[in-house]
Amino acid sequence: MKNKILLTFSLYLLSGAVGLAQFPGQFPGQSPAQSGDAKPSSLNLPGQRYPQVDSQRRAIFQLRAPEATTVKIHLVDDEYDMVKGDNGVWSYTSEPMDLGFHYYWYVIDGASVTDPASKTFYGNSRLSGGIEVPSPEEDFYHFKDVPHGVVSERWYLSKSANAGRRVFVYTPPDYDTNTTARYPVLYLRHGGGEDETGWSVQGYMSFIMDNLIAEKKAVPMIIVMDSGAAGGMGMGMGGGSNTMVTELIPMIDSTYRTIADRDHRGMAGLSLGGTQTFQTTQANLDQFAWIAAFSSPFQFPDVKTGYNGLMADPEAFAKQVKLFYLSMGENEVRWGGTRPYHEELEKAGIKHVYYESPGTSHEWQTWRRSLYDLAPRLFRFETEE
């Protein structure tokens, strides 16, 4: 294992180029690493050497702040002291981290600010930096030499808000060439404190779908990513549910070549977006037949009264709901309600699929894997199986 990593690293130094599957992001670091076998995070801006990640999954941060008295780093959910070194450069090396994407920012003498060395990501109701811990065994979310769909930024007039609203829409690789085909649609929600950019940026959803479709593991589908925040903060319960059904779905169905019925429409969401998925689909089961919640924190539909009582009749529920999908990260604690809910569903005999992401927590690697596991199950009908 160690030899393999050293070999990979040597090739990286020699080639000066970026392997197709090595850096999923746009901006590979440009300079050789300094400390041990650490390499610049794939989310660094061009020319930025820090932050770095080593083969032990430790993240190494450096920030020049010569006159600062205290510098801390906020990484995932905690704050850590950085240490001042020569030339006014502060540094911090983390413990081994979970695989995948993590938010971070700096607190300099009490000011909470964003590292200009990193691409920025909307999470925690702010823009912050991000660090990517590579997962050597996984490449399902990497850019590969396959046909690519696109993610379109679309603005439309929301009549209820009397304002422009933005939505991102993934269309599969054959959408523009197969001009008479019609497609099923998945509505895909971000988490609390995130926004409609989350799935296409942190989530690499387009690479995940491109790869699945190229391998014929998933049927080509349109994926719509809107904001779950009705008011702006991204934390509202049920945010956007009403306008999804009254404004967004009609706009999508009149703009794209969709199959505009409930059998070909699904909704999925992560964390708070999972809760919103439960709310929206319970209130509008005539609109959605495919339902998925990743790491939903609370408000799981009651096994007796959920879905307007439909859950009390498992056979009827399974007939109406083509897929009831739940997932969480193996290490989730704080928002770990999904596993007990899965057990409750089992006991009640309610048909569903439960996926658990090994070794990850309430973060994007769990949700990337969840989408990868979910998408092949979507819009498959009995007759096809």
Q: Pick the binder of its own copies from 6, 11, 20, 316 (CB under 8 A).
A: 20
Q: Pick the binder of its own copies from 127, 245, 259, 260 (CB under 8 A).
A: 127
Q: Is 126 in the site for its own copies (CB under 8 A)?
A: yes
Q: Pick the binder of its own copies from 41, 128, 211, 357 (CB under 8 A).
A: 128
Give residues 325-344 in contact with its own copies (rule: CB under 8 A). Answer: none
Q: Which two tokens stand for residue 72?
A: 């801390």
**Binding string, residues 53-92; x marks residues near its own copies by CB under 8 A:** ----------xxxxxxxxx----------------x----
> Which letter does DSSP use for residue 84 in this model?
E
CA distances from 309 to 278, 283, 301, 315, 361 (A): 14, 12, 10, 12, 32
Phi, psi of 368 (to 5 degrees): -60, -45
- Closer Cβ to its own copies, 54 or 194, answer by number: 194
How many residues bind its own copies (CB under 8 A)? The answer is: 69
Rounded to whole angstroms, the Cα distance separating 72 from 230 reads: 33
Single out the segment in contact with its own copies by CB under 8 A; choices: 116-124, 215-223, 344-352, 358-366: 116-124
Give residues 236-255 in contact with its own copies (rule: CB under 8 A). Answer: 255
Q: Is 47 in the site for its own copies (CB under 8 A)?
A: yes
Give residues 355-384 in contact with its own copies (rule: CB under 8 A). Answer: none
Give residues 149-188 in contact with its own copies (rule: CB under 8 A). Answer: 150-157, 161-164, 166, 169, 176, 179
Sign (positive/negative) of CA torsion 248, 252, 166, 280? positive
Phi, psi of 371 (to 5 degrees): -65, -40
Q: Is 125 in the site for its own copies (CB under 8 A)?
A: yes
Residues sharing a CB contact under 8 Å with residue 280, sequence separation 6 or more, in sequence order: 238, 241, 244, 245, 267, 288
Rounded to whole angstroms, the Cα distance separating 263 from 236 reads: 28
Q: Is 108 in the site for its own copies (CB under 8 A)?
A: yes
SS3 annotation, 276-323: HHHHHHHHCCCCCCEEEEECCCCCCCCCCCCCCCHHHCHHHHHHHCCE
Amino acid, res. 226: D
Tell me which residues touch its own copies (CB under 8 A). 17-20, 26-27, 30, 45-47, 63-71, 88, 105-106, 108-120, 122, 125-128, 143, 145, 148, 150-157, 161-164, 166, 169, 176, 179, 200, 206-207, 229, 231-234, 255-256
